[in-house]
A and B are shown apart, each in its own frame.
Chain A
Amino acid sequence: MDMKAPEKKLGIKEKYRLLTRDLAWQPTYRSEKEIYPYLDYEGIKIHDWDKWEDPFRLTMDAYWKYQGEKERKFYAIIDAHAQNNGHLNITDGRYLSALKIFLQAISPGEYAAHKGFARVGREFAGAGTQVACQMQALDEMRHAQTQIHALSNYNKYYSGFHAFAETRDRIWYTSVARSFFDDSMASGPFEFLIAIGFSFEYVLTNLLFVPFMSGAAYNGDMATVTFGFSAQSDEARHMTLGLECIKFMLEQDPDNLPIVQKWIDKWFWRGFRVLGLVSTMMDYMLPKRVMSWREAWEIYGVENGGALFKDLAFYGIRPPKGWEDAGKAIDHMSHQFMLGFYQWRFGTAFHSWIPSDQDMDWLSQKYPTTFDKYYRPRWDYIKRAEAEGKPFKNFGLAKLCQCCQLPCVFTEPDDASVLCHRQTTHKGEIYHFCSDGCQEIFEDEPEKYVQAWLPMPQLFQDPVNGDLAAWMDWAHLTDGLDNGEYQGSSDQRNFDRWRGLATSNT
């Protein structure tokens, strides 16, 4: 009997079609509307899901095999890192602040992305699209877990990590990232894809992971470098998926263009605001610096972003509305942020500090037009107050932006001497914003954004009356341990002592 091996004769594309979209069928016992109830309310029109181009053709066996190899390597390295006190290899204990912010604010976002992709992996009506989304759902679970596992060992030795699951939901600055992800998940399936596939993967991942991971490498943090590296090929797939989704929507119907453009405008600005955290890590929190935030923006924002929008111009997409305002903010944002963090350091589960003279010289070299003019004087003032025994602290929290949830600490795009503040009245209530971008996002969907949970600003107003301690307990912030100045913290004492033990010759 002659049996051929027909499997080998199929082309890759045809074989992949048989192994994915051919598995689905046109339902007849139930209507498409019942099975995919959320596909039309956003106004996006899809005429033919089969036109979807699979961005990568990965079958499950290949996925397991390939990912399994990466997993084996990753855990071998972080096991060794933990065993050999790898944390003592970092340049300096100040570096830990960047990691703390990462675990409290970014890793929960990986989980949210996991969950959101599981939802769209079910809600989309095309099997090709679904499979790609489901794989990303699985990857994002990986990212959440590898990050927690890599940073778990730091938690055993240093403050600020121990309550990440509580600070995620309660502390004020994590609300910036949380509201970003909540916003994406509260959106319809198509907008979710733009939010995560475009904003998170393109705007944030590029600017967050690449500079952040090089920062980790420069500062001797092998654990973080390893999860960053290990996630890179996943992220490459995710970016391809994000881009394919945008193109697919744009190719399906001309009516989709204005909707997609609006989402790109919105999610660029949302993402850019979250990046404020990253700018601060890069310019202030890395004891050994890789590049300035401005330089990272030039490469990963302007160059890569520019290439992306050139690509999308073919479809009629223009660069996001907030692009120019973003460009104007680059030379200011990290300084404005760090000054904010420093003065509210009683309420952060990480340490901050006044930059040293060398730090400030580096900053003025990297930000020649802004640092000496606007920000060095403010640091000098804080330093003087400190020297006079009157440490500068701010127990009142500035108004939080109703959209991005950051304190309104930014200046006008065209005048760095004036604080930027916008407000709008909706149903008799006044809402505050940090920027035009945030105000416009609110005004487009006020019913959504009036719901925003603003993290307890009232408790900041009058600490003297005794609520501050209660707020800290509630936020799982251990006063005197997690918060405050790096100088004199237990992290500083322990790191210096342990490192001394490990490097001295007794």
Chain B
Amino acid sequence: MQIDLRTVTIEPQRVAFDHLIRRFGNKPASRYQEGTYDIQAAENLHYRPTWAPDQELYDKGITRIVMRDWYDLKDPRQFFYNTYTLTRARQQDAVEANYKFIEGKGLAGMIAPDLREKALSVLVPLRHVAWGANQNHTFVCGYGYGAAFTQPSIYQALDNLGIAQYLSRIGLMLGGLDTLTQGKEAWIGDPAWQDLRRYVEDCLVTRDPFELFIAQNVALDGLLYPLVYGDMVDGAWASEGGSTIALATQFMSDWFDETRKWVDAVVKTAAAESAANKDVLTGWIASWGERAARALLPVARLGLGDQAEAVMDERRADLAARLAKTGIKL
């Protein structure tokens, strides 16, 4: 039924849902707020999990981080499903255009064979690292507390699936099917990758969601993305005539610049909450960070040769400086 309505001004009875007015005052709420705050059941949970009867269905106690209000961990990007999906849809349009350009102009064939091989030897095994990240973020989403913290994690998880898929396509585009097979063999058996694979597998058995958030987003990706997409792709490889690789991996560098803002905001808020949190975070970042740097060094050698040690030192110093701004001193 469609009635012809005259335009009339009628008085709203209230501006927002009660829980949002309580949090933000008597004003209209944003869609991010509506889709995030307090949407997880909080009280009178009916049953304990049969898979872990010592836990609650939603359990604040399974991490060592303590927050008075887990919804304080807001996402500065204010991503909810709509804004997240539209952002990625636009980005994937750009990726598609880049791939078409590379294929249409035969740019892959113009990369010097040595460089191509070197680049693929780094990028292709990284598809497995991204799969590990997908697993870890999915875990953080599933077991973390409160939608403010966990919602971005499902986005992060599927972003990493997307990254793993883009890396696979780059392998196919610049190399071919064998490249993927060789990359996987290297991941499984080549000594250069074993510390990193051990790191990823250790993450897979870490069941403190916040620790996992740190191990993945801060300790590992905080070094890996600047190293690979900065020093290698945009730096050394571009100067060796590999700017096509930069075109093919644009998504990853943009993605890292965007998501680190969220990661930093989460670390900063959690650290500012209490001295105890700050200690726990500092401890995690120190121990996982140490291991990540060690694990990435052989990868840096694959991509940068002799420069590896010096570059890794710089990346670690950069990360320490970045973390200092969030209140974490290493």
Contacts and interface: CB of A to CB of B under 8 A. Distances in A.
A215 interface: no
Contacts of B158: 60, 63, 134-135, 138
Interface stretch (B42-50, B230-238, B273-281, B299-307): B42-50
Contact of A60 (B131, B162, B187, B197): B162
B41 A148 contact: no
Nearest to B174: A3
A71 to B, nearest CB: 5
B39 A111 contact: yes
A335 interface: no
B57 interface: yes
Given A71-B86, A137-B138, A220-B1, A23 B41 contact: no
Contacts of A1: 109-110
A432 interface: no
Nearest to A30: B201
A498 B47 contact: no
A138 B42 contact: no
A72 interface: yes
A112 B143 contact: no
A91 B3 CA distance: 9
Contact of B17 (A121, A165, A182, A219): A165
A18 B177 CA distance: 9
Nearest to B113: A1
Contact of A23 (B14, B44, B127): B127
B40 interface: yes
Given A89-B2, A145-B81, A3 B106 contact: yes
Given A60-B158, A144-B35, A65 B92 contact: yes
Contact of A6 (B4, B43, B177, B205): B177
B253 interface: no
A141 B1 contact: no
Nearest to A452: B46
A281 B176 CA distance: 57
B89 A64 contact: yes
A71 B86 CA distance: 8
Nearest to A445: B50
B77 to A, nearest CB: 15
Q: Which of A2, A89, A146, A162: most chain B Cβ within 10 A?
A: A162
Interface stretch (A34-42, A238-246, A420-428): A34-42
Interface stretch (A150-158, A363-371, A409-417): A150-158
B6 A138 contact: no
A30 B85 contact: no
Which applies to chain B's interface (DSSP): helix, strand, loop or mixed?
A: helix
B288 interface: no
B135 interface: yes
B208 interface: no
Contacts of A233: none
Contacts of A91: 1
Contacts of A149: 31, 34-35
Interface residues of A, number: 110
A294 B19 CA distance: 38
A354 interface: no
B103 interface: yes
Nearest to A89: B3
B72 interface: no
Contacts of B38: 165
19 contacts: A5-B173, A19-B164, A20-B165, A23-B127, A23-B130, A25-B128, A29-B197, A60-B161, A60-B162, A121-B138, A141-B81, A148-B35, A152-B16, A165-B19, A182-B46, A186-B49, A186-B57, A503-B3, A504-B6
Interface of A: 1-7, 10, 18-20, 22-30, 34-35, 38, 41, 59-61, 63-65, 67-69, 71-72, 74-75, 84-85, 88-89, 91, 108, 111-112, 114-115, 118-119, 121-122, 127, 130-131, 134-135, 137-138, 141-142, 144-146, 148-149, 152, 155-159, 161-166, 168-170, 175, 178-179, 182-183, 185-189, 218-220, 288, 445, 448-449, 451-453, 455, 476, 490, 494, 498, 501-505
Given A135-B158, A145-B82, 12 more contacts: A64-B162, A118-B154, A122-B142, A130-B138, A137-B142, A137-B154, A145-B81, A146-B81, A165-B17, A169-B42, A189-B51, A453-B46
Interface of B: 1-8, 10, 12-19, 29, 31, 34-35, 38-51, 57-58, 80-82, 85-86, 88-93, 95-96, 103, 106, 108-110, 127-128, 130-131, 134-135, 138-139, 141-143, 147, 150-151, 154-155, 157-159, 161-162, 164-166, 168-169, 172-173, 176-177, 180, 184, 187-188, 197-198, 201-202, 204-205
